[in-house]
């Protein structure tokens, strides 16, 4: 998956209105499909899985016949001068020899018995299903990461809409207080309080708009391209608790199906095999070897004194077969040290597996409890919004008839904004918690995304003011 980093950086930096040609209008399911093809983390997990599986291939290849061939060509030129004394006679020599050599050969090495290699294959073989489960866990993580980023945009949109409404209402309060001051019906403190709240709302609105843009960009970081026109929950949404299992059923399912825990089980199997590999260092090894080769040489030898030339040529073939038995006798304690090291690593892996298992049990139980409590929380937050709006409207009426102050109205307005924000957050947290529970239990798949996507039917951005990004 190749990408132009400059283009991607510009896409993330520019406002969405400036890059409408690459903006995608997408619901949750469409956004996940974009993330599935564009998320670098998932792509890295897929590549890691492929790389991990090659370990078993390489370990198996070490047990198969190893055949190597070689060939060589050499040319040598040798000049030799000297002198020898025979009796009273001095004999000089001066020769030149040119030699051309060609050789070839093929070697075969076959394992007959090598326990360390056999146990190493068992270790690497265990990593193959571990890599499969790691990829499954990465796919589950992509779903929850995408949904979290998607829901964060929706919460930011609804919070921004509430902030816009709050600014409009506070502006009206400020104008109203100013008019009452002008006719002598309100003190100057009412104007100052209204102005302070209005200015604070303006600053908050800027922060909320920036937060929304950051939420959009966080989603684009996963999908690889900007997303807009998201679908949100309707006002009549009422959450339901999954009926597949009770709390203990979800926990039992998680212990048996969670992909991260299943991966760790195979990692533990690999660690056990590594202990056997270390112990196998005490065992003898037996290998069958064979070779075939040949050599051909030819050249000339010239006597530079009497100018005589002699040609020579030689050729040879060789064949061999052998059984090689290697028996470890003494290695200075290195073998036993490797055994202790492998046992320690196996025990650490076992402890990590147990820790991970306990964490999954805890997380699954907590996810179910949070999901169960979220149903009541959403209803309570909804009623809080209703009550806060009623209190705000009543305080406005009271202000007009003189029974309430501007400060009362401002406080109730802020309470309404806070209630709206918490209500929005609780609704989308509930959807996210559904996916997190399925993820912990190891049952999360695309159908869960589709089910939640069916609940998102409202154009979320329609509630924003036209001037908002």
Render pLDDT for 405-428 as a digit per residue (tens, 0 to 9).
788 888 888 899 899 999 999 999
Spatial CB neighbours of 337, under 8 Å, sequence gap ≥ 6: none
Render pLDDT for 92-128 as a digit per residue (tens, 0 to 9).
666 788 888 899 999 999 999 999 999 999 988 898 8
Which tops the pLDDT comparison, 83 or 70? Answer: 70
C-alpha dihedral, 39 to 43 to 46 to 52, nearest 10°: -130
Q: List the structure tokens of 93.
A: 């020599």
Element (DSSP H or E) covering residue 309? strand 308-326
> Does the pLDDT at position 451 exceed 50?
yes
Q: What pTM does this model have?
A: 0.80
Domains of the chain: 5-63+114-284+331-463 (1.20.1600.10), 69-112+286-326 (no CATH)
> Does the pLDDT at position 281 exceed 50?
yes
Render pLDDT for 301-314 as a digit per residue (tens, 0 to 9).
776 667 777 877 88
Model confidence at 377, in pLDDT bands (50, 70, 90)?
very high
Q: How far apart are CA 29 and CA 431, in angstroms?
A: 14
> Does the pLDDT at position 322 exceed 60?
yes
Q: How far apart are CA 422 and CA 35, in angstroms?
A: 28
Residue 466 near residue 238 (C-beta atoms within 8 A) = no
* Alpha-carbon separation of residue 30 from 146, 152, 228, 229, 453 (angstroms): 11, 17, 11, 12, 9
Residue 253 near residue 245 (C-beta atoms within 8 A) = yes
Q: How far apart are CA 209 and CA 23, in angstroms?
A: 19
């Amino acid at each position: 998956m190749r990408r132009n980093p400059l283009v991607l950086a510009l896409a993330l930096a520019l406002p969405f209105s400036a890059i409408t040609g690459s903006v995608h209008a997408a619901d949750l399911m469409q956004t996940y499909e974009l993330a599935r093809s564009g998320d670098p983390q998932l792509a890295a997990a897929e590549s890691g899985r492929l790389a991990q599986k090659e370990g078993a291939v390489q370990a198996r290849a070490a047990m198969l016949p190893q055949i190597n061939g070689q060939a060589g060509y050499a040319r040598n030129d040798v000049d030799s001068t000297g002198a020898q004394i025979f009796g009273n006679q001095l004999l000089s020599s001066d020769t030149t020899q040119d030699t051309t050599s060609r050789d070839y050969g093929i070697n075969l090495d076959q394992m007959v018995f090598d326990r360390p290699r056999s146990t190493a294959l068992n270790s690497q073989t265990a990593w193959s299903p571990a890599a499969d489960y790691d990829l499954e866990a990465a796919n589950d993580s992509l779903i929850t990461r995408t949904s979290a980023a998607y829901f964060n945009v929706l919460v930011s949109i609804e919070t921004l809409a509430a902030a816009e409404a709050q600014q409009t209402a506070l502006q009206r309060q400020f104008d109203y207080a100013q008019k009452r001051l002008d006719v002598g019906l309100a003190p100057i403190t009412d104007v100052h309080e209204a102005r302070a709240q209005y200015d604070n709302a303006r600053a908050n609105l800027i922060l909320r708009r920036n937060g929304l843009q950051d939420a959009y960009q966080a989603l684009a970081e996963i999908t690889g391209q900007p997303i807009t026109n998201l679908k949100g929950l309707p006002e009549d949404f009422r959450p339901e608790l999954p009926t597949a299992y009770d709390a203990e059923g979800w926990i039992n399912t998680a212990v048996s199906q969670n992909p991260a825990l299943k991966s760790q089980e195979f990692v533990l199997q690999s660690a056990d095999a590594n202990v056997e590999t270390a112990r196998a260092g005490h065992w003898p090894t037996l290998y069958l070897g064979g070779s075939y080769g040949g050599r051909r040489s030819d050249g000339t030898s010239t006597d530079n004194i009497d100018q005589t030339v002699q040609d020579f040529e030689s050729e040879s073939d060789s064949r061999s077969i052998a059984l090689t038995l290697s028996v470890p006798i003494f290695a200075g304690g290195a073998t036993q040290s490797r055994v202790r090291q492998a046992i320690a690593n196996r025990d650490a892996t076992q402890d990590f597996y147990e820790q991970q298992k306990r964490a999954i049990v805890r997380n699954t139980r907590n996810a179910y409890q949070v999901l169960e409590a979220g149903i009541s929380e959403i209803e309570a937050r909804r009623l809080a919004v209703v009550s806060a709006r009623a209190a705000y409207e009543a305080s406005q009426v009271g202000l007009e008839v003189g029974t309430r102050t501007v400060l009362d109205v401002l406080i109730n307005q802020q309470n309404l904004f806070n209630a709206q924000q918490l209500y929005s957050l609780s609704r989308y947290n509930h959807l996210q918690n559904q996916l997190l529970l399925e993820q912990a239990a190891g049952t999360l798949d695309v159908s869960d995304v589709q089910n939640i996507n069916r609940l998102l039917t409202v154009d979320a951005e329609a509630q924003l003011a036209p001037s908002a990004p």
